[in-house]
Structure 1
Amino acid sequence: MAEISGTNGNHDVVLNVNGEINNHLPPPSAPKRKDSDIGLSVSFIQKLMAELLGTYFLIFAGCASVVVNVNNEKVVSHPGISIVWGLAVMVLVYSVGHISGAHFNPAVTIAFATCRRFPARRVPAYISAQVIGSTLAAGTLRLLFSGPHDVFAGTSPQGSDLQAFVVEFIITFYLMFIISGVATDNRAIGELAGLAVGATVLLNVMFAGPITGASMNPARSLGPAVVSNHYKGIWIYLTAPTLGAVSGAWVYNMVRYTDKPLREITKSASFLKSSRSSG
């Protein structure tokens, strides 16, 4: 029997040669699972807790390396401090990145919000959690190393304010450019995000640390400043990293767009070439 197919509303309609209409309903779909059934639902309070704790441990470890280095005759050394900051970022990204996104940085949060990759209404809460975590970490260090061992673990310009501003802008731009690549572009290898971001922080602290302290993070500078009442150049560390992060995110978004098909892009990727040659 000949049939002519078409659509009507939400189901298929088949008209046979005898003028009879057969409604062919689609097969029942599997029941949708709630987010909680597949482990994707995380409450906003949990996200804030992850940001607070992550920022706390990041600032505690990084600033502790600075304090210990001063109090123990440079035993940690500047390269050691750089490694501590890089490793702290890396392990925390892998630990809580799947919960809160592992920002730990108001500049990163603001940059994501300006690119509409983070809800703007959640920015104040995230920044509050990050600043509280940084302040608590700095306060903990102040209690542990008070008296004659008191060391300012914050950041302050070692040269002119203009030099510090430009350096902080550039290194935060660089950091946010890398974050945007490995965390928001589905063509990147997401599993390497923590390693890439941690390595970028290590590199920036290595060469910019002696100049500005390599903050790249308003919370990293604000927490110790509040605890130690030391606000020299604080405006630099609040504005330059924020402007650098926003610029880095937007520039990567411009680079991200390409007319090449995805297959052509991945075909030329070096990591695929190496995997094929090793296979």
Structure 2
Amino acid sequence: MSRWQQNRSMSRMSSRSLNLKRPKASMAVWPKCDWYNLRFMLRVIFSELMANTAIIFTLVHYNASFPHSLPIAVPAAGVFGWAVWVCGPISGPQVTPIVPVALVIMRHITIIHALMVVIGQFLGSLFGYLLAWALRPDNHPSTHGTNYGLTVIHHVTVGQAFGLEFLAAFWVILAVLATLDEFRPSAWTQGHITSFYAFFALTIVWLAAVVGHYTGASIHPFRSLIPAIFGNNYTDVWIYFTAPFLGSVVAVFVYEMIMSDGASVARIKAWFTDRNFDRHLDYKKLEQEGDI
């Protein structure tokens, strides 16, 4: 073997050893400016794009008016479950912008990663709507109008619609936070990530059945915004932005301050003031032992 070949072989071995030692990219850690982290963020964007394309296409394209059609809650639950199962190992998926907002407040993910998630969600919502529009059948109830895919209010007042969307988002975020709770008893966490897709699908069935008839159970601002833009109809769109985000924020504070087993005054103080806040650290125990 020539010296050049030996040097090349050693260089490859050195590169492999460096790759083995490199910490795995995580949305909880601020990314470094290198190709490894850039590739990770691009995968996050693509993952959310894929998940949202499937979700928005299904919700917009599905026609529940046929005599033997299943209620919209069923395909909605199916596509949400599919998205969680397929894209879960990459980005969650976080599916709707209210989730990354909640996770940023909880300091689960960084702002830059949340931005990548939201970009993927917007692009996926746009592509999903365009795909549904391009493949829409002639017998779809709203094919020939300007309200194709719009989420509209039925049989409730504006205030009631706001309350329904708020509650739907609030309950969805509580489900997400309970799954991610670092202090949840072990009996409740065994296999909780791999089974979350089924539980989340059931949650969507519940909310779509209870809320969907009145507001569409959007819980996804882009789901409501994209059709409004194409149809140039912004009636009540503000509800689908403000109510879900408000419900998400309130859910974070309720869960973190009251419902989590790790909730304590010391933890809340560190959450807001400590730059190095550690979500896995038991601040309640440290407070009891007098270490903080």
Correspondence for 1:202 among 205, 229, 246: 205
Equivalent of 1:222 in 216, 220, 225:
225
Aligned length: 225
Alignment of 1:47-126 (within 5 A): 47-65=44-62, 68-70=63-65, 73-77=66-70, 80-126=71-117
> Which structure has greater strand proportion?
1
Q: What runs of 5+ residues in structure 2 fail to find an aligned partner?
A: 1-16, 28-35, 264-292
152, 171, 174: which one pairs with 1:174? Answer: 171
Tell me which residue corresponds to 1:136: 127
Which residue in 2 is equivalent to 1:256? 260
Whether 1:245 aligns to 2:236 is no
Whether contact under 8 Å (1:90, 1:197) holds in the other structure is yes
- Residue identity opposite 2:243 in structure 1: A
Structure number, greater radius of gyration:
1
**Could you say if the C-alpha distance between residues 116 and 141 of structure 1 is closer, same or farther in structure 2, counting changes exceeding 3 Å?**
same
Whole-angstrom distance in 2 between the partners of 1:74 and 1:229: 31
Alignment of 1:258-277 (within 5 A): 258=262
1:233 offset after TM fit, Å? 0.7
Unaligned runs of 5+ in 1: 1-29, 260-279
CA distance in 2, matches of 1:89, 1:193: 11
How far apart, CA to CA, are the structure 1 residues paired with 2:256 and 2:73? 29
**Aligned equivalent of 2:21, options 29, 34, 38:** 34
Separation in 2, partners of 1:258, 1:112: 17
Cα pair distance change 1:35/1:55, threshold 3 Å: farther
Equivalent AA in structure 1 for residue 117 of structure 2: Y
- Classify 1:146/1:88 alpha carbon distance in 2 versus 1 (closer, same or farther; 3 Å): closer
Tell me the distance in 1 between the aligned counterparts of 2:24 and 2:110. Answer: 24
Structure 1 residues 75, 153: CA separation in 2 closer, same or farther (over 3 Å shift)?
A: farther
Q: What is the CA deviation profile of residues 69-104 of structure 1, one whole-angstrom value per residue up to 9, with x for unaligned ones? A: 24xx35424xx3101111111121111111012011
Could you tell me how far apart the structure 2 residues matched to 1:153 and 1:44 are?
Answer: 30
Give the C-alpha shift of residue 132 in structure 1: 1.7
C-alpha distance after superposition, 1:219-255 (max 9, x if no partner): 2211222232222111000110011112112222221
Corresponding residue SS for 1:84: helix
Runs of 4 or more off by more than 4 Å in structure 1?
35-38, 146-149
Between the aligned partners of 2:252 and 2:235, the Cα distance in structure 1 is 28
Indicate if the aligned counterparts of 1:94 and 1:194 stay in contact, CA closer than 8 A. yes
| Length-normalised TM-score, structure 1 | 0.72
1:32 CA displacement: 9.2
Contact 1:182 1:196 in 2 (8 A): no
The C-alpha deviation readout for 1:136-184, integer Å capped at 9, x for no partner, is 2112212222777416222112221111000100111001001111134
Aligned-residue offset at 1:63:
2.1
Q: Distance in 1 between matches of 2:73 and 2:223?
A: 15
Q: CA deviation at 1:191?
A: 2.2
Q: Which residue of 1 aligns with 2:153?
A: 157
Q: CA RMSD in A?
A: 2.8
TM-score (norm. length: structure 2): 0.69
Which position in structure 1 is the counterpart of 2:267?
Answer: none
Please tell me the residue identity of whatever aligns with 2:21: K
- 1:59–1:138 CA contact under 8 A, matched in 2: yes
CA offsets 1:172-217 (integer angstroms, 9 cap, x no match): 1001001111134464222221111111111000010111000111
